[in-house]
Chain A
Amino acid sequence: MKKEESISLEPRPQNPIESLIRVERLPHMWCPGCGIGISMGAFTRAVVESGIDQNSLSVVSGIGCTGRVAGYLRLDTFHVTHGRAVPFATGLKLGNPKLKVVVYSGDGDLMAIGGNHLIHAARRNVPLTVILINNFNYGMTGGQFGPTTPMEAFGATAPYGNYEYPFNLPYLMDVCGAAYIARWTVYHVRQLTRSITEAMSKDGFSFIEVITPCPELYLRRNRLGDALKEMIYLKENSRIQNGAETRTVAIEKIRGEIIIGKFVDRERPGYIQSLDGHLQKVLGARYQRPPFWEK
């Protein structure tokens, strides 16, 4: 028997992130070349590298392709209604502040139907980490345009091109008061991983926008090439500008420079700290800190 053909019976070293994936649910439902899985890889590595207690980590997703992330993670995971992951996560976090709660969802979910919840959670500075996968369209329902679709891009419901202005998400989160704001692409996995770790360590509201290729719908419909070409595009056209004025980082055109980086990292008391501190100050000895917070 030739050496190359022999089968090693040594136990295969386990991929460090494998314990975080519900492998029995594979194969996943994402298209070849989709970036959601890459972002999930970055997330799981951030979880492992940060050493945070995995039994105290919950992930909440809304509905959409990105919404399926919760179902593939071996953590306490919640797949709720379209757009409402943030208020569910708010209740979960307030019910047990010892939990780290991450909201993982799509641009349409978080910013269209769930936009009101997102801005209010940022305003309250609820200690949640929101990972928003921006693939510039509604993937799950077949590539309709949405609130982040660039001008003139085609979508299933924009057959003549989009003429609505898209949101500048980091700027929006900035004026709402989020404690931490970053944007990366799925090409920048190392930076993204580090950023997720940083975001999860904040006591306030943290927000990461992840630019992600949607090869079967957005890229195809706009004749932008395949997933590999898009990765090269993201590599060549992204410019890291940490601390950039969020006002200046809008993505309004189909092609053009994408400013990425950590834009905001500020100290501002989180919702739980505000609630606790204020009631303690005003009520003094009469204040009863929720006993379930201690457990």
Chain B
Amino acid sequence: MKKTKPKPKIKELVHLTADPRGVLTGVHFMNGDQAACEGALAAGCRFVAGYPITPSTEIVERFASRIPTVGGIFIQMEDEIASSIAIQGAAWAGLKSMTVSSGPGFSLMMEHVGLAAMLETPCVFIDVQRAGPSTGLPTLPGQADMMQVRWGAHGDYEIIALVPNSPQECFDLTIQAFNLSEEFRVPTFVMMDECVGHMAERVVIPPADKIKIFNRRYTTLPPEEYLPYRTGKDLVPWFVKAGTGRRFHITGLTHDERGYPMMNAETQGKLVRRLVDKIRANAEQIVRYEEEDCEGAEVVVISYGITSRVASRAVEMARKQGIKVGRFRPVVVWPFPEKRIRQLAGMVGGFVVAELNYGQISLEVERLVAGKVPEKAIEKRRVNQPGAATAKSD
């Protein structure tokens, strides 16, 4: 029995369908990288800046070849620092934009993850994770950037991160990433891994009018009344783009509603509290996960990305041996499905967290279930050989 949390409600106002020019409707056989590129095009992304790196290059290569006939821009920048800010310039000109990388380049982008969080620039980053640290294993998978995406830039902020486990999901979740990034004006991440990026499978691209798009909410206020960072109850300010006569200022310094720098603790508190709360307060609406037979299970296996597919085989094997095993897969990893994991903690015997790293999401799970399941019932840091797509489970 499969249960999927219902998708978030999208406000009528900006809830549209895709521009058919970017949508390659049909049934395809393509890899995750290519599917993510098609997802971006379908979502309305018309600006990609990037710098080549394995295993994400196929995304930008496909975009470079597709975009001149769709109507948009690809620019290969001098590095990832430049790429991750060029997309923000394009966003403030009114475009949906994206950059793409893997570990070493993703590390260079952290400066502008912080900037995007601070300026509230809607934009999408894809990280096709390889094994690290440093240059690591360029052609083999890893899932060890899961905490970097959450905490990689300095200061307090929140982001949204989604993790696909198939080429189809690379397509679907890239669209979802754009929608969330527009709705919450927050940098949004698609955390793929080399395996999912390079595996080819059937990908169904629906007709444009079946693809839901959340478009940017532009201010309608006259210049005298408009303030770039004034918000309503949802804590998300409405956007303004350059060249519309609003004469606005934005800065990475701590700023007030006018966008003007204000060097005091009060402004810092107000601004950063809102940046954090606009995601935390809406977490239940953003969170998405898939679960199967979890309630009452002896053990629940939590996994995501390629590992979730490997883990499902282990789950089947365990079930054949008569063990009651549930499966839980966060689709949106940040914000984390805290509420559901806390609930499950009271109903299951224990958890196994399978991930291609030495313990990242397992830390989050440990935090949430602490005291509710016996210490030894949290199996951690065992299924963890970054670089290998196989997982062992005991």
- CB distance A96 to B87 under 8 Å? no
- CB distance A283 to B69 under 8 Å? yes
- Chain A, residues 72-86, CB within 8 Å of chain B (1/0): the string is 001111111100100
- Chain A, residues 22-66, CB within 8 Å of chain B (1/0): the string is 100100000000000000000000000000000110101000000
Min CB–CB distance A262 → chain B (angstroms): 28
Min CB–CB distance B70 → chain A (angstroms): 6
Please name all residues of chain A whose beta carbon is closer than 8 Å to the beta carbon of B75 when the two chains form the complex.
90-91, 94
Please name all residues of chain B whose beta carbon is closer than 8 Å to the beta carbon of A92 when the two chains form the complex.
89-90, 92-93, 242
- CB distance B71 to A87 under 8 Å? no
Please report the C-alpha to C-alpha distance between residue A96 and residue B93 in the assembled complex, in whole angstroms. Answer: 6
Pick the contact of B86: A25, A90, A291 (CB < 8 A). Answer: A90
Q: Is A253 an interface residue (CB 8 A)?
A: no
Please name all residues of chain B whose beta carbon is closer than 8 Å to the beta carbon of A291 when the two chains form the complex.
71
Please name all residues of chain B whose beta carbon is closer than 8 Å to the beta carbon of A93 when the two chains form the complex.
89, 93
Please report the C-alpha to C-alpha distance between residue A283 and residue B67 in the assembled complex, in whole angstroms. Answer: 12
Min CB–CB distance A69 → chain B (angstroms): 11
Q: Is A130 an interface residue (CB 8 A)?
A: no
Please report the C-alpha to C-alpha distance between residue A117 and residue B47 in the assembled complex, in whole angstroms. Answer: 19
Please name all residues of chain B whose beta carbon is closer than 8 Å to the beta carbon of A90 when the two chains form the complex.
75, 77, 82, 86, 89
A80-B252, A90-B89, A94-B90 given; A283·B247 CB < 8 A: no
- CB distance A292 to B49 under 8 Å? no
- CB distance A78 to B92 under 8 Å? yes
A91-B86, A117-B78 given; A99·B243 CB < 8 A: yes
Pick the contact of B69: A74, A287, A292 (CB < 8 A). Answer: A287
Q: Is B85 an interface residue (CB 8 A)?
A: yes
Q: Is B226 an interface residue (CB 8 A)?
A: no
Pick the contact of A71: B83, B92, B247, B251 (CB < 8 A). Answer: B251
Pick the contact of B82: A77, A87, A275 (CB < 8 A). Answer: A87
Min CB–CB distance B213 → chain A (angstroms): 16
Please name all residues of chain A whose beta carbon is closer than 8 Å to the beta carbon of B243 when the two chains form the complex.
55-56, 58, 76, 96, 98-99
Please report the C-alpha to C-alpha distance between residue A22 and residue B261 in the assembled complex, in whole angstroms. Answer: 13
Pick the contact of A84: B85, B93, B246, B253 (CB < 8 A). Answer: B85
| Size range of the chain B interface in the assembly | 35 or more
Among B95-121, those with CB < 8 Å from A are: 95, 97, 111-112, 115
A-B contact count (CB 8 A): 149
Closest to B258 in A: A24
Among A93-122, those with CB < 8 Å from B are: 93-96, 98-99, 116-117, 120
Pick the contact of A76: B72, B77, B248 (CB < 8 A). Answer: B248
Please report the C-alpha to C-alpha distance between residue A84 and residue B108 in the assembled complex, in whole angstroms. Answer: 13
- CB distance A95 to B95 under 8 Å? yes
Min CB–CB distance A245 → chain B (angstroms): 28
- CB distance A88 to B242 under 8 Å? no
Q: Is A89 an interface residue (CB 8 A)?
A: yes
Min CB–CB distance A18 → chain B (angstroms): 14
Among B48-93, those with CB < 8 Å from A are: 49, 68-73, 75, 77-79, 81-83, 85-93
A94-B73, A116-B78, A287-B68 given; A81·B92 CB < 8 A: no
Q: Is B373 an interface residue (CB 8 A)?
A: no
- CB distance A70 to B249 under 8 Å? yes
A88-B85, A95-B93, A290-B46 given; A77·B244 CB < 8 A: no
Q: Is B21 an interface residue (CB 8 A)?
A: yes
Please name all residues of chain A whose beta carbon is closer than 8 Å to the beta carbon of B241 when the two chains form the complex.
96
Please report the C-alpha to C-alpha distance between residue A289 and residue B79 in the assembled complex, in whole angstroms. Answer: 26
Please report the C-alpha to C-alpha distance between residue A91 and residue B87 in the assembled complex, in whole angstroms. Answer: 6
Please name all residues of chain B whose beta carbon is closer than 8 Å to the beta carbon of A75 when the two chains form the complex.
247
Please name all residues of chain A whose beta carbon is closer than 8 Å to the beta carbon of B90 when the two chains form the complex.
91-92, 94-95
Q: Is B208 an interface residue (CB 8 A)?
A: no
A71-B251, A81-B111 given; A95·B89 CB < 8 A: yes
Please report the C-alpha to C-alpha distance between residue A77 and residue B89 in the assembled complex, in whole angstroms. Answer: 11
Q: Is A240 an interface residue (CB 8 A)?
A: no
Q: Is B245 an interface residue (CB 8 A)?
A: yes
A70-B249, A92-B93, A95-B90 given; A288·B70 CB < 8 A: yes
Q: Is B272 an interface residue (CB 8 A)?
A: no
Please report the C-alpha to C-alpha distance between residue A75 and residue B71 in the assembled complex, in whole angstroms. Answer: 29
- CB distance A91 to B97 under 8 Å? yes
Q: Is A2 an interface residue (CB 8 A)?
A: no
A55-B244, A96-B243 given; A87·B77 CB < 8 A: yes
Can you list 21 A-B contacts (CB < 8 A)? Answer: A58-B242, A60-B89, A70-B249, A78-B92, A79-B251, A87-B49, A87-B83, A87-B86, A88-B88, A91-B47, A91-B88, A93-B89, A95-B94, A116-B79, A117-B82, A283-B68, A283-B69, A288-B68, A288-B70, A289-B71, A292-B93
Q: Which 9 A-B residue pairs are closest in the complex by CB-CB distance?
A: A95-B93, A91-B89, A92-B89, A91-B86, A79-B251, A87-B82, A91-B90, A288-B71, A95-B90
Interface residues of A (CB under 8 A from B): 22, 25, 55-56, 58, 60, 70-71, 74-81, 84, 87-96, 98-99, 116-117, 120, 275, 279, 283, 286-292
Given contacts A87-B82, A94-B47, A96-B94, 17 further A-B contacts (CB under 8 A): A22-B260, A25-B260, A55-B244, A75-B247, A76-B248, A84-B112, A88-B86, A90-B75, A90-B86, A91-B75, A91-B89, A91-B90, A93-B89, A93-B93, A288-B71, A290-B72, A292-B46
